[in-house]
Structure 1
């Protein structure tokens, strides 16, 4: 039984976070980076108990969890390194020019304030309590209140304890980090609409993310909700490529579609190509490869039941055929892979077929003509990823189509499957609505920190009272834009 945190306790935690924000606001980027590295060290030191607990709660393999743990510590350290460079402070200094009646104006970014992070079900480490949202918010200078995901409560508590212990070790205010538990919708709503909360980060369903977004925008003082809500991640395959690689591409697609029992937000749920011999070869190979995939338990019973329901609804639509499926009998919560086929016009006309089915489920869309693919592209909703399977010649012949697809996604892949999300500066894990609520930002990679900062300018302030990032001597030794040019040294100002 998951304990429901009382509203009285939540209120206390929010007030503590508001106090802690005033402390964090006056920490330097170097101090926050040191804290983040310490959290990474503590997570790394957690032994087999963390892995076995997460395995028991999520059915994820120990190998997968070991890799995810390494990714999580890597996120904290990578984000810490980025924060320490000052890249997200975005310091701008325009020195006074009395002869031109121009003031001394200096600008940098500070944290927004207390942030609520909703843990995700499918990544108990990397996208949950001590995941990238928490790391990037603290790196930005924001206290964090985590609403733990009920699917892995013990795992969440272990990760929360690590952060809490690090707060104590550094002697920082307790409100830097809080851990809230419960299953009721009211907790999330209460946190999101509270006047002292300044931003929300969410990874999960469209209905959950959109509900939080709507609550946040109905507030007297609206706040940003950075919600990642799902995506069908289409693959558009062209004939020149299919002619030479139909069988190999089908094998790659089958592996990507079923990776992690299809429980990735970048799962390639739709494959689009022209009708004909090439796509027939692709499908013939899927019929061989998909039955080879041995089903595994999904994350929990609820996700399994939702997968079975949505899979059945999509498969039962008119002008739809099942072309490949795993043969193993369903056992407990095993997600059995299924691939269906339909026509381009049916996909366009039937909105059910373009909705995400979270799990190992794919739709092959066989189009009559290039114009049909173009129409699908133009009507496509916002996606996290879109993949182009093509030769160079295919690209040259389809520039107009690809230009449309650029407007529909956050990451455009060329001849690679989308299920690998690397934690690097150039990663964009976010896309146009409804894949996320704000396509300008990413939730993976150091640039995730950008979500939780805002700029503030200081005009004509004495150097003594300026933040460290803006002082003349540049004590943090960061790169700054001074009078329009990058400068990493101190400012040699004339004495008066």
Structure 2
């Protein structure tokens, strides 16, 4: 991979700063049209994109085909939301005799140039042309993508599609830039550059926290929206286990090993009460894991990290192996493993609460309900927490449920956490350390909210106001006028 020079990076950032002056004056309708064009260009990318991504990531062609559709769908979904004006949040308080400040109008504008770090596990949907890029442009922010070194050719193909849309619309070249290089120094330089106003990252805790700390040490700190992973605990409650231990084992194992366990919502820990039902669940896991066919991981680095952290966890005191897939494997293929430990050991040993990125699970056996509550209390922030339960279980564990609400961004009642829907109600972000800001999501149209800030205009002539705040409301967007929802034009009396 070619290392982009600092001189080239400086030029790209300067271009982005200039493009921002253009983009912040575009309307929601114009940005939505651009986003739909990007979706068109992604959709027409053919066999070359899929085969390139397959060669660079080892992901199956069927999976990549689905992810490509999801990626173009994200651009369209976010464009539809942006087009409504929902994220500009126009607020108008007209001048009144009893108001000293006169006419006040407020809306949200893009925060400025955004650096997006491509993720390795979703080369389309969370990388160069992924949701971070789409939502930043939807907010009116130019984007500089730092390509992930694990799939440089795939990243370039996606970058070319966005660049083609920029040229077609006649927008400034700095609207989108693509930076390459494997050096951490490039990422650090981007985050610390004075003209960068926000950062989006999906990856490891170490990587995300390093960027977050760098951004906060700046003379002018900027937000870093980092999604850094999670152990996504599953609390398997007694009534459900009693009635469907074997079926639940299949569901858990399928989610745990899906995509070689390379999902940020992989259910890495399962907590349950000791007893006959849990014994049946564990036996089913032992039998089922031998049917899991090892899959090649995304790249050598992820495989080596998986093997390292799997071994560290399995070799902790008072930990016992339940089962390991024993199928013969090729290079970089991950063998699934499930271990078991007691609640007391899990609580006292923080190593067991660290994410192992790959097909690895820990079953935590609790002697009492109090131990389940103690685990819940000590949990760090998670992307997801799942309650595997019947309604009767839920009635008997209301205090647990109430506590778990404080620990995650998405709380599931049955089902498994792997996979996210690109919809308004999706929350893909949770309390630290799963993300650096639990107020936002990186999936769904609301991801746009990360890259906007409010600005208020006081007593400005209508001619000079942004379109979203003008009296005529030519965009026909919904606005709050004097505290009431209003989609029409304002008929003001002139004197």
Aligned partners of 1:139 and 1:36: how far apart in 2?
A: 7
Deviations 1:186-243 (A, max 9, x none): 1011000111000000000000000000000000100000000010000001101111
1:324 Cα offset (Å): 1.9
Name the structure 1 match of 2:266: 267
Aligned residues: 495
The answer as to 2:163 corresponding to 1:172 is no
1:100 Cα offset (Å): 4.5
Q: Where do residues 225-374 of structure 1 align in structure 2 (5 Å cutoff)? A: 225-374=224-373
Name the structure 2 match of 1:25: 24
1:405 Cα offset (Å): 0.8
Q: Higher mean Cα deviation, 91-100 or 332-341?
A: 91-100
Name the structure 2 match of 1:473: 472
Aligned partners of 1:261 and 1:99: how far apart in 2?
A: 65
SS at 2:356's partner residue?
Answer: coil
SS at 2:3's partner residue?
Answer: coil
Aligned partners of 1:336 and 1:327: how far apart in 2?
A: 7
The answer as to 2:52 corresponding to 1:53 is yes
Name the structure 2 match of 1:412: 411
SS at 2:235's partner residue?
Answer: strand
Q: Where do residues 6-21 of structure 1 align in structure 2 (5 Å cutoff)? A: 6-21=5-20
- RMSD between aligned alpha carbons? 0.7
Aligned partners of 1:178 and 1:314: how far apart in 2?
A: 41
1:404 Cα offset (Å): 1.0
SS at 2:83's partner residue?
Answer: helix
The answer as to 2:387 corresponding to 1:388 is yes
User: Which ranges in structure 2 are unaligned for 5 or more consecutive residues?
Assistant: none
1:446 Cα offset (Å): 0.1
Q: Higher mean Cα deviation, 109-118 or 330-339?
A: 330-339
The answer as to 2:447 corresponding to 1:457 is no
1:101 Cα offset (Å): 3.8
Aligned partners of 2:414 and 2:213: how far apart in 1?
A: 37
Name the structure 1 match of 2:483: 484
Q: Higher mean Cα deviation, 391-400 or 293-302?
A: 391-400
Name the structure 1 match of 2:192: 193
Deviations 1:26-84 (A, max 9, x none): 00000000000000000000001100000000000000000000000000000000000
1:98 Cα offset (Å): 2.4
Aligned partners of 1:101 and 1:358: how far apart in 2?
A: 58
Aligned partners of 2:98 and 2:408: how far apart in 1?
A: 49
Name the structure 2 match of 1:35: 34
Residues 337 and 359 in structure 2, CA contact (< 8 A), matched pair in contact too? yes
The answer as to 2:98 corresponding to 1:106 is no
Q: Higher mean Cα deviation, 370-379 or 95-104?
A: 95-104
SS at 1:402's partner residue?
Answer: helix
SS at 1:442's partner residue?
Answer: coil
1:494 Cα offset (Å): 1.2
Name the structure 1 match of 2:78: 79
The answer as to 2:436 corresponding to 1:441 is no
Aligned partners of 1:72 and 1:260: how far apart in 2?
A: 18
Runs of 4 or more, structure 1, over 3 Å off, are 99-102
The answer as to 2:493 corresponding to 1:494 is yes
Name the structure 1 match of 2:125: 126
1:493 Cα offset (Å): 1.0
1:290 Cα offset (Å): 1.0
TM-score of the two chains, using structure 2 as the length reference: 0.99
Aligned partners of 1:102 and 1:313: how far apart in 2?
A: 63
1:330 Cα offset (Å): 2.8
SS at 2:86's partner residue?
Answer: coil
Name the structure 1 match of 2:150: 151
Residues 166 and 172 in structure 2, CA contact (< 8 A), matched pair in contact too? yes
Q: Higher mean Cα deviation, 325-334 or 239-248?
A: 325-334
Aligned partners of 2:100 and 2:422: how far apart in 1?
A: 46
SS at 1:292's partner residue?
Answer: coil
Name the structure 2 match of 1:215: 214
1:102 Cα offset (Å): 4.9
SS at 2:296's partner residue?
Answer: coil
Residues 101 and 458 in structure 2, CA contact (< 8 A), matched pair in contact too? no
User: Which ranges in structure 1 are unaligned for 5 or more consecutive residues?
Assistant: none
Name the structure 1 match of 2:183: 184
Aligned partners of 2:415 and 2:296: how far apart in 1?
A: 27
TM-score of the two chains, using structure 1 as the length reference: 0.99
1:392 Cα offset (Å): 1.1
Residues 39 and 73 in structure 2, CA contact (< 8 A), matched pair in contact too? yes
Aligned partners of 2:100 and 2:157: how far apart in 1?
A: 58
Aligned partners of 1:470 and 1:421: how far apart in 2?
A: 35
1:6 Cα offset (Å): 0.2
1:99 Cα offset (Å): 4.6
